Structure 1
C-alpha cells in the first residue's frame, strides 16, 4: 500500500510539473513587435500579470481633435497634415 501511495504521489507531482512547464512559454495571439518587458528572467509573477506588451502589426487607428465646425470638411481618403 505504501509503494502504491508513493507511486500515486509521484504521478501527481509529475502532472503538476507538466502543467507548470506549459506556462513557461509565452506566445502572442497576433504578430507584432515587443515594446515592453515587465519582468526579469526567472521572476515568478502572479497569474494574469502582464509580462510583455506587443504592438500589433496591421491597420492603424488614430484619434485626433478637430474643431466641430471643421468636421464637415473631412472625408475618407482626404490628405491632412
Structure 2
C-alpha cells in the first residue's frame, strides 16, 4: 500500500530542503546520460521557482556551449527545462 504525504507536509519538507542549482545540475547530468544510453534524444526536468533565474540562464548557456539545444519555459509554479541533442 502506498501512503502519500499531505500537501501541507510536502510544503514544509520542501521549504527546509535547502536545494540549490548544483543539486539540479548533477541530477540533470545524470538524466542526460541515462537518456542517451537508452537512445532517447531529450531530457525534461522541472526546477522549483525559488531558484534564481540567473543561475538557470547560466546552466542553459553551459549546455548550449556543449552543443545541446535547450528549451526553457516558465510556469506559474515551476520552471521546465528540456534538453535536446540531434
TM-score by length of 2: 0.25
Q: Which has the higher contact order (CA 8 A, sep 6+)?
A: 2
Say which structure is richer in strand.
Answer: 2
Say which structure is richer in helix.
Answer: 2
TM-score by length of 1: 0.26
